[in-house]
Structure 1
Amino acid sequence: MSTGQSFAYPLSFGATSEGSRTRFALWAPGADAVDLVIDGMPPIPMAPAEGWWSCEAAVGADTAYRFRLPDGTSVPDPASRAQRDDVHGPSVVIDPRDYRWQQADWLGRPWEEVVLYELHPGLLGGYAGVAAQLPKLKALGITAVELMPIADCPGRRNWGYDGVLPFAPNLAYGTPDDLKRLIDRAHALEMMVFLDVVYNHFGPDGNYLASYAPQFFREDIATPWGAAIDFRRPEVRRYFTENVLYWLMEYRFDGLRFDAAHAITEPDWLDEMAATVRRTVEPGRHVHLVLEHDGNIASHLAGDFDAQWNDDAHHVMHVLLTGETGGYYADYADAPASKLARALSEGFIYQGEPSPHRAGEKRGTPSGMLPPSAFVFFLQNHDQIGNRAFGERLTTLADPGALKAAVALQLLTPQIPLIFMGEEYGSETPFFFFTDHNPELAKAVREGRRREFAAFAAFNDVGVEALPDPNAVDTFERSRPVAPDAAHGEAMFAYYRNLLDLRRQHIVPGIRAAQSMGAQALGDAAVMASWRLGNGRRLTIACNLGADAVSVAPVAGDVIFASDPDVKAEVAAGRLPPRATIATCGPAEGTEP
């Protein structure tokens, strides 16, 4: 591969280094005047132009600067490429051309080859620590690591969804060049790197936008996390579209995951932005766009987005594995095996049906016309573990045999699998919600979580005071994933590696143009599903998560996986044992499973 090339994406906002000079631009329609403040220099008045303020200064890379408002408040650059200290500190001029990429002509990998591994950079030792883990993840069969949000947020410990400076990689994990070295290293290993981005809100500490650009936010509506961003304004749309292109073009990320896109007030921006990405990215380069969207809106996936995290599939699997039916799991309590069959054959379970958890509100649109690869299938992720009161993983909630059967189903379907860090060696370590806020905000978060969980029966005896304190260092440290013991960890790693190798051999070659051939429930906790793969093969999977055997019709094709040696004979005799999965692959015949 070619080496030594640099990449810089031109931004309308922020500081643009031009060698010995730097241009500065700020959208501040609510300010009467703005000064550029640079350490060791007199303030430089910025020139106004229709809500924009701009100037030039004879400074280069690594210069610290702020913008000063008429009331004397000095604020960081909302398009800061880096911060010197934290979100309240000065911004730093970065010249992205200083980094020379070693894998400059990397073009990525096609979507059907994606096996995602979601991780929190801080828990794995920052950008350098993640880079050190890449060879092991490659050996496992991972083709793409997905970083939880890295936009700068308060403190050194945070999930990342409290970000307030979307262009500034969090210094707690390393420098901007450290992040580029991580991505470069991944590309050298033929691995992709995805980034989780948050465009539906800003965090509660360190966002100064409202003080000079109140037009950035809406006054008539709000999100569950704070003020709603006003995507009706062209400057706001441009700010976030440029952020998307910045990560993809300047940092060479291979894909983005858009957090809670249903909370973005103008959904047409999503499609507009995605179309802009497709027009901008270099020809032949594989770049992937993935939604998290509670509304199950299939039209986005019929356009320029590759896929959506399928919460429906997770939720019904969780009900089947744990028996939990509280909260949103109530929507999956009735006939869960039939609902799982729909998730396997059509993607979304809720395609316009009323949601009991939402008081009968209808949710979703038809998705059966979409390919299986339009859905990211996971058994666990940061939300589904960390938003529990005690951050329990499925390893502590589910029967071990049933969980292994579920993993086989997940990794062998033509849907795109996502593994959360630690799953691959059966970690039982909790993943808690953690923060590093100032004392006042830390108290508010702590008390808010206690109110949230006060009505849960689990706290009747111990009280909500037993909840881990999100701001405590120990809460963060206890969230690091570790194997229960070396032997168990090695066995689980081998189990995942074998399944991902089978996926690479038998499933990946046919994911493109794959189509469902139907799915059906086999009793209360078992399913059978088939797909016609794009290479003319038929994939069939039968999975029983229950404690009792179920009847099953003969499964055509060569057995590529069975939970244990006896399963093949049992299925041939018309019986699928409890907590077992079998997968076959053979010539497609067009019959229903």
Structure 2
Amino acid sequence: MRRVHSMPFGAEITSDGIRFALWAPTAQEVSLVLDDTEHALKADADGWHRLVSGQAHVGSRYGYKIDGNLVVPDPASRFQPDDVHGLSLVVDPQAYDWSDTTWTGRPWEETVLYEVHVGTATPEGTYAGLMAKLEELKDLGVTAIELMPIGEFPGRRNWGYDGVLPYAPDAAYGSPEDLKRLVERAHELGLMMFLDVVYNHFGPSGNYLHAYAKTFFTERHPTPWGAGINVDGEGSRVVRDFFFHNALYWLEEFHFDGLRFDAVHAIIDDGQPHFIEELASRIRQAIPDRHVHLVLENEANQARWLNRNEGRQPKLHTAQWADDIHNSWHALLTGENEGYYEDYANKPLQHLGRSLAEGFAYQGDPSLHKDGVIRGEPSGHLPPSAFVAFLQNHDQVGNRAFGERLAHLIPPERLELAQAIFLLSPQIPLLFMGEEWTASTPFQFFVDFESEPDLAKAVRDGRRGEFKRFKAFTDPEMSQRIPDPTDRATFDRSRIEWEEAERSPHREVLSQTRHLLDLRQTEIVPLLKSRYRGSHYTVSPENTLDVTWTFDEGMLRLLANFGSAPMTMHTGDGTRALWASPGIDVTSTNLQLPPWSGVILKGQSA
């Protein structure tokens, strides 16, 4: 099978030759630079510049010359062999012959996500290197791989959030065909493939849109990265379509099963329909016959995008990253109270109980961290599967000054308790690469601006400046210890070491993770596939937590003691223990729970 997503921009193969199309509404003159030749492009009143060339062919290098001097790559380039400032490559997407013709995905309720940074996940740091690990991840119990952003970014190493050419899978990881082979192999093993995409900003190097499409951005909506993306002003129809086509491109041409949309709260839209709504609607209409899962990162906690229809299917987006669950867990486990943990540190267990039961801890409540700004919408009506839960991810590890993982911060018995509750709760779980065996390697912030020393210095200084508001880094000497993100060694330290999973204590943690994921598929997933009836939770003054989730197919209950003294908690009749902390007698209906212990029970619905 051949797959291609047709779009109005970029280089497209037609029966008459290669069609080139660039939207450049603020350029006076645009020409096509094709291999060693130059050709004038025809402009129309809407700012489009087009040409169909019989001289171009698959493998041709091309770019656009703007106003007679600046040569830029295609913003819809399918491949950039020479990085973000080089010429684009004409690619024939239909040259790849797919064999996964019967693959239509997997139900969302079966999802266990495994977040991966391609460059640091394997020694090779490539799509091919990751492909060799897929079978091992399947055997662990993972059902979906989620790649951090891969759109072409400056240099050879980056988290991916500095991408500037969102249609071009970064050449540092391999070719587009290598990526397709990775997706195809995943499907062969029954694994879904997800991709993290960034539609709220472009990186600081290699974004040439300002040179010929100034209206792509707007000063009306400032963001942490500068002027916002113009999704609601003059010319915004093309801007919106640029991103909508990008989403469909990854889902259709590369056969991804789902997308994670980065920080959509930073996409400001005063029009109707909202960008977030139209994005999902376009995808749902275009791909009605596959399991396609759309996940938001949305600090605003807007439940409106997650509603279900009468058949319990998402109307728009499938789920949202549950930052409230993570932040509550982190404040409870570590006692940290600075930065965004300030909103959870005063009563972490209450926040954890509410977010486990209802999805959001903040549902229209004032945020201390944001000076009293009201955050969130009621979410208790949504099923738990509308939320992706995690104890760690690239942000919450990598945005720490030294990139420490949770295992570096808390005792192993506390981590064991949190992991069991996390993996057996009814939210969709996400593991960050290496978490399954408590990897010893950190995940630090890294970039590669070697060819731009001024930018490299600005990033280095900015990174250290970010932490000056934290007590530990008020001392300038301590601040200088923060790893240099531009140093290759920072990237190298962040590579996970798969071999250590074979050694104790990592081997035992890996075995426990595998056991918990097996329990999840056999005991939790059947509940999630039935109708959700609701939940309730209580937090006692002694810091015990009792959460019950009810489904047509049964009831799930969490009892845990996070206090400093032993507590007795009553299970009731007709339940059985799926998991319990060591030493707890689960045969009794009056459980004796030591400090920092818990049990997860399953029973029939009332």
Alignment of 1:176-187 (within 5 A): 176-187=176-187
C-alpha deviation, 1:493, in angstroms: 1.0
Contact 2:116 2:148 in 1 (8 A): yes
C-alpha deviation, 1:525, in angstroms: 4.4
**Does structure 1 residue 253 correspond to structure 2 residue 256?**
yes
C-alpha deviation, 1:20, in angstroms: 7.5
Aligned counterpart, 2:70: 73
C-alpha deviation, 1:538, in angstroms: 1.1
Partner Cα separation in structure 1 for residue 550 and residue 317 of structure 2:
23
Q: Structure 1 pair 158/575, CA: closer, same or farther in 2 (3 Å)?
A: same
Aligned with residue 567 of structure 2, among 550, 556, 570:
550
**Does structure 1 residue 102 correspond to structure 2 residue 114?**
no
SS in 2 for 1:82: coil
Q: Give ranges in structure 2 of 5+ residues lacking alignment.
A: 308-314
C-alpha deviation, 1:265, in angstroms: 1.3
Q: Structure 1 pair 484/278, CA: closer, same or farther in 2 (3 Å)?
A: closer
Contact 2:145 2:193 in 1 (8 A): yes
**Does structure 1 residue 147 correspond to structure 2 residue 147?**
yes
1:241 alignment partner AA:
F
1:455-514, Cα deviation, whole Å (9 max, x unpaired): 433235642111100011100010112348712222111101100000000110110322
1:387-424, Cα deviation, whole Å (9 max, x unpaired): 11111111011121111101111111111000001100
Aligned counterpart, 1:573: 590
C-alpha deviation, 1:523, in angstroms: 4.5
SS in 2 for 1:357: coil
**Does structure 1 residue 325 correspond to structure 2 residue 337?**
yes
Aligned with residue 123 of structure 1, among 80, 101, 120:
120
Alignment of 1:22-101 (within 5 A): 22-58=18-54, 59-101=56-98
SS in 1 for 2:505: helix
1:451 alignment partner AA:
G
Aligned counterpart, 1:471: 486
Moved more, 538-547 or 135-144: 538-547
**Does structure 1 residue 458 correspond to structure 2 residue 451?**
no
SS in 1 for 2:471: coil
C-alpha deviation, 1:559, in angstroms: 1.2
**Does structure 1 residue 442 correspond to structure 2 residue 442?**
no
1:189-231, Cα deviation, whole Å (9 max, x unpaired): 0000100000000000000001000000002332112321000
Aligned counterpart, 1:289: 294
Contact 1:83 1:171 in 2 (8 A): yes
Partner Cα separation in structure 1 for residue 147 and residue 333 of structure 2:
27
Aligned counterpart, 2:304: 299
Aligned with residue 604 of structure 2, among 565, 587, 590:
587
Partner Cα separation in structure 2 for residue 424 and residue 545 of structure 1:
23
Partner Cα separation in structure 2 for residue 57 and residue 474 of structure 1:
46
Aligned counterpart, 1:227: 227
Contact 1:308 1:374 in 2 (8 A): yes
1:354-373, Cα deviation, whole Å (9 max, x unpaired): 11111111100100111110
C-alpha deviation, 1:561, in angstroms: 1.2
Contact 1:426 1:489 in 2 (8 A): yes
Partner Cα separation in structure 2 for residue 98 and residue 484 of structure 1:
39
Partner Cα separation in structure 2 for residue 278 and residue 243 of structure 1:
14
Partner Cα separation in structure 1 for residue 544 and residue 259 of structure 2:
34
SS in 1 for 2:480: helix
Contact 2:193 2:257 in 1 (8 A): yes
Partner Cα separation in structure 1 for residue 33 and residue 154 of structure 2:
22
Q: Structure 1 pair 475/234, CA: closer, same or farther in 2 (3 Å)?
A: same
1:164-192, Cα deviation, whole Å (9 max, x unpaired): 00100000001000000000000000000
Q: How well do the aligned residues superpose, as a CA RMSD in angstroms?
A: 1.6
2:185 alignment partner AA:
R
Aligned with residue 110 of structure 2, among 102, 109, 113:
113
C-alpha deviation, 1:565, in angstroms: 4.6
C-alpha deviation, 1:550, in angstroms: 2.8
Aligned counterpart, 2:550: 532
Aligned with residue 269 of structure 1, among 269, 272, 275:
275
SS in 2 for 1:530: strand
1:277 alignment partner AA:
I
Contact 1:540 1:555 in 2 (8 A): no
SS in 1 for 2:114: strand
Contact 1:380 1:420 in 2 (8 A): yes
Q: Structure 1 pair 120/269, CA: closer, same or farther in 2 (3 Å)?
A: same
SS in 2 for 1:278: helix
Contact 2:338 2:470 in 1 (8 A): no
C-alpha deviation, 1:345, in angstroms: 1.1
1:512-565, Cα deviation, whole Å (9 max, x unpaired): 322333111244544121111242x11112233455433312254111111225
Contact 2:27 2:212 in 1 (8 A): yes
Partner Cα separation in structure 2 for residue 501 and residue 16 of structure 1:
46
Partner Cα separation in structure 2 for residue 527 and residue 226 of structure 1:
43
Partner Cα separation in structure 2 for residue 545 and residue 89 of structure 1:
56
Q: Structure 1 pair 399/547, CA: closer, same or farther in 2 (3 Å)?
A: farther
Aligned with residue 336 of structure 1, among 348, 352, 372:
348
Contact 2:231 2:240 in 1 (8 A): yes
Aligned counterpart, 1:172: 172
Aligned with residue 495 of structure 2, among 480, 483, 486:
480
Contact 1:372 1:515 in 2 (8 A): no
SS in 1 for 2:360: coil
1:53 alignment partner AA:
H
Q: Structure 1 pair 184/484, CA: closer, same or farther in 2 (3 Å)?
A: closer
SS in 1 for 2:91: coil
Contact 2:385 2:428 in 1 (8 A): yes
1:56-96, Cα deviation, whole Å (9 max, x unpaired): 11222111100011141100000000012100000011110
Contact 1:200 1:260 in 2 (8 A): yes
Partner Cα separation in structure 1 for residue 152 and residue 15 of structure 2:
25
Partner Cα separation in structure 1 for residue 139 and residue 542 of structure 2:
37
Aligned counterpart, 2:197: 197
Aligned counterpart, 1:280: 286
Report the TM-score, using the length of structure 2 for normalisation.
0.93
Aligned counterpart, 2:310: none
Moved more, 476-485 or 390-399: 476-485
SS in 1 for 2:369: helix
Q: Structure 1 pair 455/47, CA: closer, same or farther in 2 (3 Å)?
A: closer
SS in 1 for 2:517: helix
SS in 1 for 2:430: strand
Aligned with residue 510 of structure 1, among 518, 524, 527:
527
Aligned counterpart, 2:391: 379
Aligned counterpart, 1:316: 328
1:269 alignment partner AA:
F
Contact 2:41 2:49 in 1 (8 A): no
Report the TM-score, using the length of structure 1 for normalisation.
0.95
Contact 1:522 1:551 in 2 (8 A): no
Q: Give ranges in structure 1 of 5+ residues lacking alignment.
A: none
2:533 alignment partner AA:
Q
